[in-house]
């Protein structure tokens, strides 16, 4: 199963209070540097603002894990997620290609061996 991180983040933000809270905290990465510049803490402002990108990547990682966890608990909802474009199944040729390249079962994509 391949999960789209952007779509997963949108779903997580709309359907889970933790996702909504963590996504709203992103606004602090904009507001706090402005306040720091007003107080003339330019270096601190730059450091805080620089962390907005890693935090965004971290949120997307958490969103993908939240979708995977939700689908493990509610497998009957997979079709709905697939129709929404949040996740897709891997085709059989692609699974075989990955199995050849990673013969010991070490694979970066979760759920690769399930059908």
Place of tokens 């966890």: 69
What's the pLDDT band for 113 if we cut at 50, 70, 90? very low
Residue 77: which domain range? 2-86
Distance CA 57, CA 23 (A): 11
> Is residue 49 assigned to a domain?
yes
pTM across the whole model: 0.72
Q: Report pLDDT for 79.
A: 87
> Is residue 100 assigned to a domain?
no
- Helices vs strands, H then E, count in the chain: 7, 2
Q: What's the pLDDT tens digit per position in 16-63?
A: 999 999 999 999 989 999 999 999 999 999 999 999 999 999 999 999
Domain count of the chain?
1
Local structure of 70: helix, strand or coil: helix
Distance CA 16, CA 88 (A): 21
Local structure of 84: helix, strand or coil: helix
Q: Are 4 and 86 in contact (CB under 8 A)?
A: yes
């Amino acid at each position: 199963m391949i999960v789209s991180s952007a779509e997963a983040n949108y779903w997580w933000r709309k359907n889970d209070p933790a996702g909504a809270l963590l996504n709203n905290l992103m606004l602090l990465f904009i507001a706090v540097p402005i306040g720091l510049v007003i107080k003339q803490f330019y270096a601190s402002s730059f450091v805080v603002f620089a962390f907005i990108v890693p935090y965004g990547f971290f949120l997307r990682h958490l969103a993908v894990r939240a979708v995977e966890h939700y689908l493990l608990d509610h497998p009957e909802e997979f079709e709905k997620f697939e129709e929404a474009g949040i996740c897709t199944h891997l085709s059989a040729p692609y699974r075989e290609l990955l199995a050849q390249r990673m013969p010991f079962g070490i694979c970066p994509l979760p759920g690769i061996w399930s059908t």
